[in-house]
Amino acid sequence: MQILLYVSDFIVPIVILGIVMHGLSRNVNVYDEFVKGARNGFLTVIKIMPTLIGLMVAVGVLRASGFLEFIGACIGRFTAYIGFPGELVPLAIVRMFSSSAATGLVLDIFKQHGTDSQIGLIASIMMSCTETIFYTMSVYFMAAKVKKTRYTLTGALAATLAGIVVSVVLAAKMVI
């Protein structure tokens, strides 16, 4: 086990060194290519900044207004029958938009219910098996200038639902 910890400390430096050595072996000016890539990345961030700010503001407004708790209470009445606590409905909604806001909600859940409670376990597993769908779609599709998303949203929502179901099932198995 100790060898894995030792190797994991060197993985990133080895990968970076490998990329630099590969570039040098092909007579590529590695530093200039790095600067070009960093510049393109910075320009991409500037292009998507309005979208990011809009998503962050929307999540902040929903959270501060109490609307998420209201929706959680309404939907939670129905989800409790299938083993999904109503307290986690706001987390499931926010997770689709913002990972940092969802992390804040998870920390609030941990403070209220504890990390080893069933709600805490479901929240932890759910954070691991779901994605920030709308954030990811807006950022990557805007950066790649994709206009027609086709079935991306449907597939992402289905995958998120599967992640939520699996989190409930796994947490139920862990508590037993």
Mind listing the pLDDT tens digit for each residue in 33-81?
999 999 998 998 888 888 778 877 888 888 889 898 898 889 989 988 8
Asked whether residue 5 carries a pLDDT value surpassing 70, the answer given is yes
Sorted by sequence, the CB contacts under 8 Å of residue 163 that are 6+ apart come out as: 126, 129, 130
Tokens of 151: 């079935």
CA 56 to chain centre: 14
Q: What is the pLDDT of residue 175?
A: 65
- Residue 41 φ/ψ region, left for φ over 0, alpha for ψ in the -120 to 50 degree band, beta for the rest: alpha
Angstrom distance (rounded) from CA 107 to CA 58: 20
pTM score over 0.85: no
pLDDT tens track for 88-140: 999 999 899 888 888 988 999 999 999 999 999 999 999 999 999 988 888 78
